[in-house]
Structure 1
């Protein structure tokens, strides 16, 4: 029971730290790119929100349950088999979501009311290729009642994401890039953050 509460405390602290990091960058980013530049990134941000939900609270829970059930019966081979099946399922799902968003980026951008968002949506679609291994590894460690990797990857992702967004956007502004190019820089920073989460895991 003590391990359960310890794990819950670790995940709660990580979630709060990640939320704080995610909120803190908004003011300097808006000051850097202006209200329109900030609005452009906010238009595509909900897509990233979906990816976060899939890789943090959705599929990791399912994977952790599968792994925990196998390990409860001392079935290491069964746990490994469950992980392989989960990886296959998540990879197929990730490719489908990626292809749908990449090919449908123009349609989605038009639905948002601005066709110039197409490159941003298309770039952000690559996040759906990163979420399967992130979700799988988080679920695997949680199934072993080890919450530290999930917490570290969550905080690390947001720290690197915020740093990359501000750094890349600053570079874009210094080059005289327009607000859409600055938005692309912010999306690239988001992908850098997700890649960092994968390496941390």
Structure 2
């Protein structure tokens, strides 16, 4: 959850805010550029954080006194990347005041998550509790993948949801990539830090509670 928040909490909110600002003043070129830059940033960030999560899965679970959960954490790594991609598109749709794709993708994600979590847990539990937990975790990854694919398809097919009519661009102010990245960081960093602090506190509580229960027998 902490890695998920560090990856997805701030930039999507920044995307929606910045795009809505540009659309409001009919600066469609900058709005489109903002989405493309943000999507690229989230894609790279998702890869980096998923790889980081994979690398620290063993030492983290051992330190948290849940060494047997290593493979469950690994099974969640792709979900970090998939949710990053979804977040980029959700931020974009929110910025152009179209919440329908976001709503449908979230419902789709949770339905598939529930179905495949129960299905894989039932299939793999016969090999042991640890393997059953890994199977259950795979439902989250499948749900996030389906959500990302749905949003990509909707973005490509539904031209009404795109800011593509550049001929109607009435605002001639051009923003460089550097300016847009600065705006994204300006909005996203404070949001990410404030939410991450709460999640970090929960992580510390989990460690303290588990270690004390183990110490108490």
Q: TM-score, normalised by structure 2?
A: 0.64
2:140 is aligned, of 186, 190, 199, to 190
SS at match of 1:145: coil
Question: RMSD value over aligned CA atoms?
Answer: 1.9
User: 2:172 is matched with which residue?
Assistant: none
Maintained 8 Å contact 2:68/2:130: yes
- Cα deviation for residue 134 of structure 1 reads 0.4
Q: Deviation per CA, 1:47-91, whole angstroms, max 9, x where unpaired?
A: 3x7637954x64322111111111112122111110111112212
Of residues 102, 122, 145, the one that matches 2:74 is 122
1:70 to 22, 35, 39: 22
- Is the partner of 1:187 in helix, strand or coil? helix
Which of residues 151, 156, 162 in structure 1 aligns to 2:103? 151
Contact kept, 8 Å, 1:68 with 1:143, in 2: the verdict is yes
Is the 8 Å Cα contact of residues 54 and 135 (structure 1) preserved in structure 2? no
Mapped partners of 1:52, 1:166: distance in 2: 25
Is 1:169 the counterpart of 2:121? The answer is: yes
* Total equivalences in the alignment: 151
Moved over 2 A (4+): 49-55, 57-60
Question: Where do 1:53-68 residues align within 5 Å?
Answer: 55=8, 58-68=10-20
- Alpha-carbon separation, structure 2, partners of 1:165 and 1:117: 16
- 2:43 counterpart residue number: 91
Unaligned runs of 5+ in 1: 1-46
Is 1:109 matched up with 2:61?
yes
Task: Flag structure 2 segments of 5+ consecutive residues without an equivalent.
Answer: 152-217
SS of residue matched to 2:127: coil
Name the structure 2 match of 1:9. Answer: none
Answer whether contact 2:39 2:89 (CA < 8 A) is retained: no
Instruction: Confirm or deny that 1:135 pairs with 2:99.
Output: no
CA distance in 1, matches of 2:123, 2:37: 42
